[in-house]
Amino acid sequence: MKVSEIIEKLNLRVFGGEDGLQNEITGGYVSDLLSDVMGNADEGEVWVTLQTHKNVMAISSLKELAAVILVTDHEPDADMLEQANEEGIPVLGTEKSTFEVSGELYQLLK
Amino acid sequence: MQVKYQVEGGDFTSAGYASSQVKKLLKQLNVAPKVIKNVVVALYEAEVNIVAHAYRGVIEVELDPQKITLVLEDEGPGIPNIDLAMQEGFSTASPAVREMGFGAGMGLPNIKRNVDDMQLESQVDKGTRLTLIKFFNA
Ligand SMILES: Nc1ncnc2c1ncn2[C@@H]1O[C@H](COP(=O)(O)OP(=O)(O)O)[C@@H](O)[C@H]1O
Ligand SMILES: [Mg+2]
């Protein structure tokens, strides 16, 4: 499944990183601890988090994640968004909680 | 081949720069993707440790045909008890750093898992030197 498809199916907001909308998704990872994501997430996964700073993009790029979903109406900091656009990694948003959006994402990807 | 990067303590906006440069370098050298992933995890955690815990540091990268050697040397408070620091979950990170999602105490264990050799030496009130080796054929 592509990032653009989950945007449509989960009704996600697109903040930036549109160059990566055709990225293929291999799975998801849910965490607000950066070392946890660094150590345990895999290439092609969608990262669900409430962290909104630039280091989220540094990690997404190093790990080659497919996209980031910010939960509960969180919005990316300006420098996070800037790096998302440079790297072409979509930053998406939802008003839903981590629990809800992860459950829906799991149903789509399993 | 040798490359050097400077790291400033407290500068979280630049954290990961050296890791992304080294990743590009290893890709150009056609190093196996799995090995690149391991190096990236270890170097990122080591880089962030200088940013989060020290005043300033230098990362020296040495590449030869069989392996990559990373030496991260910083001026900083040092580590009083290295065995304790190596334990999963141990962290002295500030509340502000924890709020950003750093400071889970998983960095040093992550590093150890991803390299073939890790040497951590430290002097309190002086600084810390971390030496990491990863073989390309592993
Ligand atoms: N370069 C360093 N200088 C001083 N202290 C360090 C350094 N690296 C690690 N430490 C100490 O070791 C602890 C554990 O490090 P780590 O496992 O990376 O966890 P974290 O960085 O999340 O706290 C740190 O909280 C800190 O007390
Ligand atoms: Mg650390």
Predicted confidence (pLDDT) at residue B3 exceeds the cutoff of 90 = yes
Mutate to test the interface with B, among A38, A71, A81 (most CBs of B within 10 A): A38
| CA-to-CA dists, residue A42 to A16, A46, B10, B38, angstroms | 22, 9, 28, 12
Where along chain A do its domains lie?
A: 3-109
pLDDT-derived band at A45 (thresholds 50, 70, 90) equals very high
| Interchain CB distance below 8 Å, B100 and A53 | yes
pLDDT of residue B138: 61
Mean per-residue pLDDT, B85-94: 97
Predicted confidence (pLDDT) at residue B94 exceeds the cutoff of 80 = yes
The fraction of chain A above a pLDDT of 90, given in percent, is: 100
Q: Could you tell me if B16 lies within 8 Å of chain A, comparing CB atoms?
A: yes
Q: How far apart are CA B120 and CA B74, in angstroms?
A: 12
Q: Is the pTM of this model over 0.95?
A: yes
Q: How far apart are CA B62 and CA B69, in angstroms?
A: 5
Residues with Cβ within 8 Å of A55's Cβ and at least 6 positions away in sequence, in order, are A34, B12, B15, B16, B100, B101, B102
Q: How far apart are CA A14 and CA B84, in angstroms?
A: 43
B103 Cβ inside 6 Å of ligand 1: yes
Q: How far apart are CA A22 and CA A19, in angstroms?
A: 8
pLDDT of residue A62: 98
**CATH of B2-135 among 3.10.290.10, 1.10.1040.50, 3.30.565.10, 3.40.109.10:** 3.30.565.10
CATH code given to domain A3-109: 3.40.1390.20
Q: Which residue of A has its CA nearest to B99?
A: A51
Whole-number Å distance, alpha carbon A88 to ligand 1 midpoint, is: 32
Q: Identify the residue whose tokens are 């990225």.
A: A23
Q: How far apart are CA A84 and CA A52, in angstroms?
A: 11
CA B11 to chain centre: 15
Q: How far apart are CA B55 and CA B60, in angstroms?
A: 17
Side chain identity at residue A75, one-letter code: E
Q: pLDDT by residue (tens digit) across B62-83? A: 999 999 999 999 999 999 999 9
pLDDT-derived band at B30 (thresholds 50, 70, 90) equals very high
pLDDT of residue B101: 97
pLDDT-derived band at A32 (thresholds 50, 70, 90) equals very high
B79–chain A nearest CA distance, Å: 20
CA B18 to chain centre: 10
Where along chain B do its domains lie?
A: 2-135
| CA-to-CA dists, residue B13 to B5, B8, B51, B105, angstroms | 15, 10, 10, 20
Q: Is the Cβ–Cβ distance between B48 and B109 less than 8 Å?
A: no
Q: How high does pLDDT run on average in chain B?
A: 97
Residue A63's closest CA among A94, A87, A98?
A: A87
Q: pLDDT by residue (tens digit) across A63-91? A: 999 999 999 999 999 999 999 999 999 99
Mean per-residue pLDDT, B51-66: 97
Kind plus residue range of the DSSP H or E element containing B98? helix B95-99
Mean per-residue pLDDT, A37-41: 98
Q: How high does pLDDT run on average in chain A?
A: 98
Assembly ipTM: 0.95
